[in-house]
Amino acid sequence: MRRERKAKIVATLGPASSDRNTIQALFEAGADVFRFNFSHGSHADHKARHDIVRAIEQDLGRPIAILADLQGPKLRIGQFAGGSVALDAGAEFTLDRDPAPGDARRVCLPHPELFEAARAGQSLLLDDGRVRLDVLASDDTTIRTRVVNAGVLSDRKGVNVPDAVLPIPALTAKDRRDLDFALELGVDWIALSFVQRPEDVLEAQALVKGRAGVLSKLEKPAALDRLEEIIAASDAVMVARGDLGVELPPERVPGVQKRIVRLCRKHGKPVVVATQMLESMVSAPVPTRAEASDVANAIYEGADAVMLSAESASGQYPVQAVSIMNRIICEVERDPLYPALIEAQREAPLPNKGDAISAALRDVTKIIGVVATVAYTTSGHSSLRTARERPLAPIVSITPNRDVARRLALAWGVHSTVSADVHSVDEMVAAACRTALREGFVKPGDQIAIAAGTPFGQPGTTNLLRLAEIWPQ
């Protein structure tokens, strides 16, 4: 089940993709990571999907990653007496703490933190930016605004505040319950929504305690002010263009995406580009040409993975969406321009043994044309540093830890395998050759490059580079 591409695909599971046949079809079409969206569905729903994914993994013999996406502190207005109101441009509209149903002049805002943060001159964006309000004045109980964009506003629509760092926790009470449940299930990644500061990530890391990777979703402009700190604190990052596109002017989003992808490459952290990539495939069997270009551009930029949301969770063509995304990625990676662009984005290795070995591994693949690189890893670090170098040859990752193998399914170019630990260089070379041959990456007579660390089995000891030739088994 080796992929003929290096970038990965994340597919969200939902009502359209909850049965065994569909989930297996999604994996066979190209999904490497399955996202469980904890904004929807019950714990029982997620457990049923988790059990199916793990059964498929067992049957097919391939590590599959599961990402639990926490809802985060989603801010919403209250309800209206008539269910909705029409707001006119230029009219005054008040947000207050009165729980009574609203009308065309006011509505409840059940979030005390917003009253603390709101200041005259700021903007509030409601219903994904369809209605914009400019703040005129605020105090502890009311926020008086003027309507900038006219529109219809209905019950419980979301509120975005692009101009402020909100004094709200990254993890709500619901998130903490969902986090405990997801970790009990044994998911591989925890996606943290609405990250604003590195402290948000560190709080989640302290709760997760290494039981899963922490992926920070960047959807608040405030996060961009401390971007490198957030990336450094995270195990992976997502460019979540939904809310980010609401709070930023649309013309800024492409540049911000490129900046995030570049910095993640610098720090060697997997980065996922997400939201509306093939949105039209929710109801159509083929994407628009603009959507195909959007996926392709993310791959040309060097993203580790691209993600499907509603397309695979609730759309009419979930398997087709994964299949087309797979075809787009393969086409980009066959383009002679692709390796040149990836090479141009390369960052200098850090001055340590692990990065020195990873850089040498990359150079060896170019100079003598090795067919595959093999990275032995206990924690996943060696494989991630090898992936940061973007070698021309595929990366076969060997680890004795199944959890690590699953987590690495998100990383660019990494083909994860699980194997018993080795105890000598000769054992290491034999196991590397055997694994690369069994997984279909080499044939007798090919050469491979192997990176490992001695003493074997100790994390963070990458210090060995070995070349080997494949002999008939």
Token reading at 284: 């159509």
Which residue in 380, 373, 372, 427 sits closest to 399, CA to CA?
380
Q: Rounded CA gap, 447 and 372, in Å?
A: 7
Q: For 53-192, list the strands marked E by DSSP.
A: 65-69, 84-87, 92-96, 106-108, 123-126, 131-138, 142-147, 151-154, 159-160, 189-192
What tokens were used for 473? 């088994």
Contact predicate 2/406, CB 8 Å: no
What is d(CA 143, CA 122) in angstroms, rounded to the nearest whole number? 11
Q: For residue 220, what are its two tokens?
A: 């608040």
Residue tagged active-site, from 12, 145, 275, 365: 275
Beta bridge partners of 307: 10
* Catalytic annotation, pick one of 217, 362, 388, 406: 217
Secondary structure element (H or E) that encloses residue 236, with its range: strand 236-240
CA distance to 126, 190, 227, 311, per residue, from 72 (Å): 17, 12, 19, 22
Tell me if residue 35 is catalytic. Answer: yes
Report the distance separating Cα 142 and Cα 354, nearest Å: 56
What is the identity of the amino acid at 410? L
Question: Nearest-CA neighbor of 211 among 47, 406, 374, 26?
Answer: 406
- 76 given a catalytic annotation: yes
Q: Are strands 189-192 and 131-138 parallel, antiparallel or unpaired?
A: unpaired
How far apart, in Å, are the Cα atoms of 280 and each of 112, 131, 348?
Answer: 38, 24, 39
The yes-or-no answer on residue 106 being catalytic is: no
275 labelled catalytic? yes
Closest CA to 200 of 178, 216, 220, 213: 216
Interatomic CA distance for residues 336 and 205, integer angstroms: 40
Distances (CA, A) of 314 to 29, 157, 263, 309: 17, 21, 32, 8
Q: Three-state DSSP class for 299?
A: helix
**Residue 281: C-alpha distances to residues 31, 36, 303, 317, 319 (Å):** 16, 20, 22, 6, 10
From the candidates 20, 54, 76, 402, which is the catalytic residue?
76
Cα–Cα distance between 151 and 162 in angstroms, integer? 19
As a three-state string, the secondary structure of 415-467 is EEEECCCCCCHHHHHHHHHHHHHHCCCCCCCCEEEEEEECCCCCCCCEEEEEE
The torsion region of residue 417 among left (phi > 0), alpha (psi -120 to 50) and beta comes to beta
Residue of 6, 8, 35, 388 marked active site: 35
By annotation, the residues acting in catalysis are: 35, 76, 217, 275
